[in-house]
Structure 1
Amino acid sequence: MSIKTNACRKLDSLRISYTLHEYEWDEEHLDVASVADKVGLMPSQLFKTLVLRGDKTGVLAACIPGDLELNLKSLAAVSGNKKVEMVAVKEIQALTGYIRGGVSPLGMKKKYPFYLHGSIQGMELVSISGGRRGLQIFLRGDDLVVASEAQLADIAN
């Protein structure tokens, strides 16, 4: 059985090197600290993807280090919105093709404006969701910038 997800296919199509890391997951432990511990990384290396809606632009996505919190005001400003808010969990799958705890910044069913925390530049090893729970993709930070066509911004604190 192949564990290739849309996120993996996107990286393959760009010939970007990555490794897959599976881990045991459960509904109560989808938080960054738990996942980072299970895959042997620091929370700052694990980038979480969040799906939001802006009052002017509609749906957008943001990706930030796991040890930081998203700054909604900063994201609103860089995305051309007056305010942004998280979409409801029940909307995530319909919007992205992924479920909570498995949202990857790569391979969403639709291309949304995507904002990535600038600290990723130059990082040799980062981890993102592989597109399903229990699967992480390890790759270079600069490769994620290229693959995601991200706009880099200071959107977390």
Structure 2
Amino acid sequence: MAKSPKISKTNAVRFLDQQNVTYQLFEYEVTDGKIDGVSVAQKIGQPVEKVFKTLVATTGPGKVFVFLVPVAQELNLKAAAKAAGAKKIEMLPVKDLLGLTGYVRGGCSPLGMKKLFPTFIDDSAKELNTMIVSAGKIGMQIHLKPRDLVACTLGTYVALT
């Protein structure tokens, strides 16, 4: 009997297992270099409205925030700053991402980061039965219920696009 290939567990997957959250993993090919969210949605056969990208922003030293928006949308920085209770917010430099979150650009999950940062999820997720976020590495996505994501990240729904 042949064994199925073992899926490597990321911090995000281990975290969901610890929380007893039901999820499904999607893996996709990355050798073509198309790892943008819209391409990922197509590769895993899911509507772009269900696939969310994880963006990390800062209002200054030590003030880090996580935002989840549909992959085909752009984060409204004014809405993000308002959600964070700040006048201004900017995207975290890519060079700082791994050190702060434990994840790389293109594989950043809102789950299982080195530290639990304030997390804001675009309110469009409230209308979904399930949603998809990065599993913590390029080539892998997690399919789960929005309420489970909110519970695991202590997230808040906000209009972000």
TM-score class normalised by the smaller sequence: over 0.9
Contact kept, 8 Å, 2:101 with 2:113, in 1: the verdict is: yes
Letter matched to residue 123 of structure 2? G
Would the alpha carbon gap of residues 131 and 94 (structure 1) be closer, same or farther in structure 2, given more than 3 Å must change?
A: same
Distance 1:5 1:40 in 2: 22
**1:123 aligned to 2:115?**
no
The equivalent position to 1:138 in structure 2, one of 137, 143, 158, is: 143
The structure having more radius of gyration, on CA atoms, is: 2
Tell me what 1:94 maps to: 99
Matched residue SS, 1:128? strand
Q: What is the identity, as a one-letter code, of the residue corresponding to 2:89? A: V
Normalised TM-score (structure 2): 0.90
Task: Tell me the C-alpha RMSD between the 2 structures.
Answer: 1.6
Letter in 2 for 1:76: A
Deviation for aligned residue 1:26:
3.9
Distance in 1, matches of 2:157 and 2:91, equals 19
Q: 1:22 to 1:55 in 2, by over 3 A?
A: same
**Corresponding residue for 1:25?**
30
* Pairwise CA distance, 1:56: 8.2
Which residue of the partner structure matches residue 15 of structure 2? 10
How many residue pairs are counted as aligned between the two chains? 156
| Deviation larger for 114-123 or 101-110 | 114-123
Which range moved further: 107-116 or 97-106? 107-116
Q: Distance in 1 between matches of 2:39 and 2:121?
A: 22
CA distance in 2, matches of 1:2, 1:21: 10
- 1:28 deviates by 3.4
Aligned-partner SS, 1:93: helix
1:51-70 alignment runs, 5 A limit = 51-55=56-60, 58-70=63-75
Moved more, 114-123 or 95-104: 114-123
CA distance in 2, matches of 1:16, 1:90: 31
How does 1:33-112 map onto structure 2 within 5 Å? 33-55=38-60, 58-112=63-117
| CA deviation string 1:83-112 (max 9, x = no partner) | 110111111101100001100000001111
The match for 2:3 is none
> In the alignment, is the contact (CA less than 8 A) between 2:118 and 2:154 conserved in 1?
no
The runs of 4+ residues in structure 1 deviating greater than 3 Å are none
Q: Percent identity?
A: 40
Letter in 2 for 1:117: D
Verify the 8 A CA contact 1:53 1:85 in the aligned structure 2: yes
